[in-house]
Amino acid sequence: MSEKRVVVVGGGLAGLASVMKLTELGVKVDLISLTPVKRSHSVCAQGGINSCNDQTRQLGDDEWKHLDDTVYGGDFLNHQPPVKEMAYWAPKVIELMDRLGVPFNRTGEGFIDRRRFGGTLYKRTAFAGATTGQQLLYALDEQVRRQETEGMVRKFEFWDFLGPIKDEEGRCRGITAQDMVSMEIRAFPADAVVVATGGCGLIYGRSTMSVFCTGSAASRCFQAGAKYANGEFIQVHPTAIPGADKLRLMSESARGEGGRVWVPRQAQDPRAPRDIAESDRYYFLEERYPEYGNLVPRDIATREIFDICVNEGLSVEDDRMCVYLDLTHIPKAELDRKLGGILEIYEKFQGVDPRVEPMKIFPAVHYSMGGLWADYVKSADGGLEPGAPQNHMTSIEGLYAIGECDYHYHGANRLGANSLLSCIFTGLFTGPSIVNYIENQKQGHAETPPTLLESARQAQVDRHESLLTGNPDSDENPYLIHQELGDLMTRVATVVRKNDQLTDAMAKVEELHRRAMKVSLSDTGGWTNQNVIFAKSLQDMFPLAKCLLKGALQRDECRGAHYKPEFQKPSLTAEDPAERRQQAEAWCDEFEANNERYLKSTIATWDAQTMSPDLTYEDVDTSLIPPRPRLYGLVGADIIEQVWKARAKAKAEGRQLAPT
Amino acid sequence: MIALEPTIKNRPEFFKVRVKRQDGPGKEPYWELHKIKYESEMNVISVLQRIAAQATNLDGKRVNPVAWDCGCLEEVCGSCTMVINGRVRQSCSALVDRLLAENPDEIVLEPMTKFPVIRDLMVDRQRLFEGLEKVKAWVPVDSYYNMGPGERQLRETQERNYPLSQCMSCGCCLEACPQYNKIELTQQQGESDEAFDARKKAAFDQAFVGPHAISQAMLFNNHPTGKALSPERLDALSGPGGITACGNAQNCVAVCPKEIPLTTSIARAGRATTVHAVKKWFDK
């Protein structure tokens, strides 16, 4: 075959890692991005990137334990073969990034320094100050710029991806995209297409995500026939700075470096925080979770902060919910060296120096664990088969999904510092798979039928034109509809979910969707029209919002970030040991029955007729590490664990458990 | 007796925002006045979001939303640079309370002047990224395969490099630099995209590369593998548009939102290019 050409959509960590690897393998790339790639949302990642390392290994850590922590933290909804492959690649990924010039913090002897993150007891996290995502992205951006000068990459920045182009056989033959400056719509033929377009936080209005994280690119693939999985799993980060335009992330690394979360024991204690004696402070995470302390997994920390403010009424302020995140006991020089970037953000936006006064923080929508469904081929050793063309291919042949917009790695809850890893890993790992896929094709990008390209382009031109002129009598304002959507989603689909509210919200979202389909634009011009670009992305938020709500409604359980108090399994109450044991047995029975029913990926397909998703459920590959109860901090955890281990052992030995 | 806190007493119900607008390249700029309802904790981003949602100006006349560029809203992406109350800065970290303290009458928003205006507050910063290409701001690794760890590095080296590596290509330093002047070319009739691009590149190449790029050159010259390209970077900085174009006004370092020691980088580049020139002369 002649020259290979791939379109990569999205220039964050995953997209750039993909471009870099593909060009190394001799593939030419058209890189499409809404923003200059150096400004992609990956810059906002702060804390670090995980791998087991020489130091943790000597304390008993290894790649398998990284896998274990990741799937346990993810409540076993992660597909284990991809996670295993990622964990085994992790040390190599960090070494490569080090070679590319990422200024990781160093120990006194010149090794890469590490800190501890949530959901693990090992110091696995490499970091570059508190702007690790920015530093990793820049290293990849530099390499892609280098490839650009070699003529391997054409960048299309300020271009909006409009959708995949499918031929009669359903194979992806390229994409359509729109120049956000000149508004030109163009078709890009390709041998394969990679979408690496991140999360969908803007569905919630305000989140920790950048303004372009609307999820519209994933939604456009979904509406073109790609399956979308686990949409209901949205991570709410425990610590963010509330703001009028955005909820700014306050990295987990603040707690990784010793930051402590507390509230005054007396509700709305009027004293300044430094005047409140130790004994009058409630370090609720440390008290409730003695083992992990402030570094419990994110879903748990978030629920506890929410609980302290909403149910216990202990919010620091009375008109606004927040708790203290306290770093003031750590020497200033150390704070500046390891956390400088995030402390500056707090200082700039809040006008308070967090080195002197505890920060006030509250949870915020942060990450989409779910995303486009994608395939993989399991290898004999339980990881992924390198180079298999199916790896990360969506349900549309030739269309790949990587990074935050895929769904495999983080299950029901992502561990901190695993996202940068999954993004770079998937970008690098899929390179050979894509090349092999291309080599198996009879027709390349150059043979794409011109009529196919033209009809796809025309369909997008029609959509564009009808938005500009189609609704002269309507007074629906896209920005106001977005606000309504965001408020609604934040109210019903974040930390606590209730079925009556979800049902109600689905009806409201349906109505908002119909209104959004006939918005009236204040700008109908043909030059740099941000109004129409936003209107399109708003319309495309709804299919994902609907997946999210319907998936949440149908999942009657608690799993990771998806929490329905109505279906929470109770702590053990009995004092008598025999009775307590019986309760633990019953608890484990229920746990198994629940897994039987709900330990499944939610798979959505889009029905364009009804404008709604159809859901089915798919088994999760848990062949490497059998699911076990997630018991962080539960009363009776010890006895449940005993019972569970006995059962697991019996199962492994293949005998039936005698009834007790 | 009513004793309001001073901050509360000074809070207006509404405030005015004056925006310098321009419908496209080559069009005449014009001023437009907006009235925004005051809320606490606003920044210039939320002001522009309100303007977009209102879709009317001060007189109630229907107007197009103002075009502007933004991304992370927490001052790490470098998108939202503009001239606010006469000073170049990021609009996300420009807080309304502080701006009104500077000038209680109105907030004035203008596009950067050193780059061609695309529309309203949006400018074309392509040249900024071309500067990074010119100085080969990357580490020339052999491959992206797993080849083991990089070299060990002293903490001191990391601490010297990390601040430089935080440059987010926002362009504040270029706006403030008296030696960095606007280059605005227009595509001629019949000229292909590629030919136009090449013509722009040639023009950029002759003009001052800018403090951000000089600083990146110093960053990579201080990296164990990156320094392999040191002679080429110094050649680039010795030619036209290089270090000698710097007039030492030191404005760059004063406006950098990340407080990057740009003038230190420029001084180092000055010494390094001199040494490089002498060495080349002896090697002749």
**CATH architecture for the domain at A455-554:** Up-down Bundle (1.20)
Count of CB atoms situated within 10 Å of the CB of A287? 11
Taking contacts as CB-CB distances below 8 angstroms, the residues of chain B near A98 are 149-150
Return the sign of the alpha-carbon dihedral for residues A362, A364, A366, A370.
Answer: positive
Q: In chain A, where are the structural domains located?
A: 5-235+367-452, 238-363, 455-554, 573-653
The active-site residue, picked from A114, A124, A298, A630, is A298
Tokens of A585: 């047995």
How far apart are alpha carbons A304 and A310 in whole angstroms?
A: 10
A606 CB contacts (<8 Å, ≥6 apart)? A222, A223, A225, A228, A543, A613, A614
End-to-end CA distance of chain B: 86
A264: which strand partners? A281
Taking contacts as CB-CB distances below 8 angstroms, the residues of chain B near A480 are 53
What is the pLDDT of chain A when averaged over all its residues?
A: 95
Q: Which of A98, A146, A523 has its CB closest to that of B138?
A: A146
**CATH architecture for the domain at A573-653:** Irregular (4.10)
pLDDT in tens, A557-598: 999 999 999 999 888 999 999 999 999 999 999 999 999 999
The one-digit pLDDT tens for each residue of chain B (284 residues) are 343 344 445 678 999 999 999 999 999 999 999 999 999 889 999 999 999 988 899 999 999 999 999 999 999 999 999 999 999 999 999 999 999 998 998 999 999 999 999 999 999 999 999 999 999 999 999 999 999 999 999 999 999 999 999 999 999 999 999 999 999 999 999 999 999 999 999 999 999 999 999 999 999 999 999 999 999 999 999 999 999 999 999 999 999 999 999 999 999 999 999 999 999 999 87
Q: In chain B, where are the structural domains located?
A: 13-119, 125-283
Tell me if B71 and A211 make a contact (CB, 8 A cut-off): yes
A168 CB contacts (<8 Å, ≥6 apart)? none
- Amino acid at site A307: D
The pLDDT assigned to B41 comes to 86
* Inter-CA distances, B8 with A350, B13, B98, Å: 17, 11, 13
For residues A227 and A603, the answer to whether their CB atoms sit within 8 Å is: yes
Cα A131–B220–A432 angle (5° rounding)?
75
Chain A residue nearest residue B75, CA to CA: A345
Catalytic residue check, A555: no
For residues A315 and A322, the answer to whether their CB atoms sit within 8 Å is: yes
Residue A375 pLDDT > 70, yes or no? yes
How far apart are alpha carbons A14 and A20 in whole angstroms?
A: 10
pLDDT in tens, A38-73: 999 999 999 899 999 999 999 999 999 999 999 999
Q: DSSP letter string over chain B?
A: -----HHHHT--SEEEEEEEE-SSTTSPPEEEEEEEE--TT-BHHHHHHHHHHH-B-TTS-B-PPPP---SSSSSSS-TTEEEETTEEEESTT-BHHHHHHH-SSEEEEE--SSS-EEETTEE--HHHHHHHHHTT-S---S-SS---------HHHHHHHHHHHT-----HHHHH-TT-------PPTT--HHHHHHHHHHHHHHS---HHHHHHHHHHHTSTTGGGGHHHHHHHHHSTTSGGG-----HHHHH-TT---HHHHHHHHHHHHHHHHHHHHHH-
Q: Which of B27, B115, B118, B144 has the most A C-beta neighbours within 10 Å, making it the best mutation to test the interface with A? A: B144
Lowest mean pLDDT among A135-144, A414-423, A635-644: A635-644
SS (H, E, C) A328-341: CCCCHHHHHHHHHH
For residues A632 and A296, the answer to whether their CB atoms sit within 8 Å is: yes
Taking contacts as CB-CB distances below 8 angstroms, the residues of chain A near B147 are 95-96, 99
- Does CATH number 1.10.1060.10 belong to domain B125-283? yes
Residues 76-115 in B contacting A (C-alpha not used; CB under 8 Å):
76-79, 92-93, 95
Overall average pLDDT of the A481-500 stretch: 96
Confidence band, pLDDT 50/70/90 cuts, at residue A470: confident
SS3 assignment, position A155: strand
Q: In this structure, which CATH number among 3.20.20.480, 3.40.630.10, 3.10.20.30, 3.30.1300.10 belongs to the domain B13-119?
A: 3.10.20.30
Q: Could you tell me if A345 lies within 8 Å of chain B, comparing CB atoms? A: yes
| CA R_g for chain B | 22
**In chain A, pLDDT over 90 holds for what percent of residues?**
92
Tell me if A39 and B72 make a contact (CB, 8 A cut-off): yes
Q: Which of B55, B62, B148 has its CB closest to that of A95?
A: B148
Q: Which of B56, B72, B139, B145 has the most A C-beta neighbours within 10 Å, making it the best mutation to test the interface with A? A: B72
Strands (E), A28-74: 28-33, 49-50
- Does CATH number 3.50.50.60 belong to domain A5-235+367-452? yes
Q: Could you tell me if A428 lies within 8 Å of chain B, comparing CB atoms? A: yes
SS (H, E, C) A89-107: HHHHHHHHHHHCCCCCCEC
Nearest to B178 by CA among B153, B211, B202: B211
Tell me if A528 and B153 make a contact (CB, 8 A cut-off): no
DSSP state of A573: -
* Inter-CA distances, A396 with A33, A170, A172, B33, Å: 21, 7, 7, 49
Q: Could you tell me if B159 lies within 8 Å of chain A, comparing CB atoms? A: yes
How far apart are alpha carbons A354 and A348 in whole angstroms?
A: 11
Q: Could you tell me if A41 lies within 8 Å of chain B, comparing CB atoms? A: yes
How far apart are alpha carbons A598 and A405 in whole angstroms?
A: 22
| Secondary-structure class of domain A238-363 per CATH | alpha beta
How far apart are alpha carbons A236 and A368 in whole angstroms?
A: 9
Q: Could you tell me if B187 lies within 8 Å of chain A, comparing CB atoms? A: no
How far apart are alpha carbons B280 and B276 in whole angstroms?
A: 6
Taking contacts as CB-CB distances below 8 angstroms, the residues of chain A near B225 are 99, 101
Q: Could you tell me if B138 lies within 8 Å of chain A, comparing CB atoms? A: yes
How far apart are alpha carbons A331 and A54 in whole angstroms?
A: 27
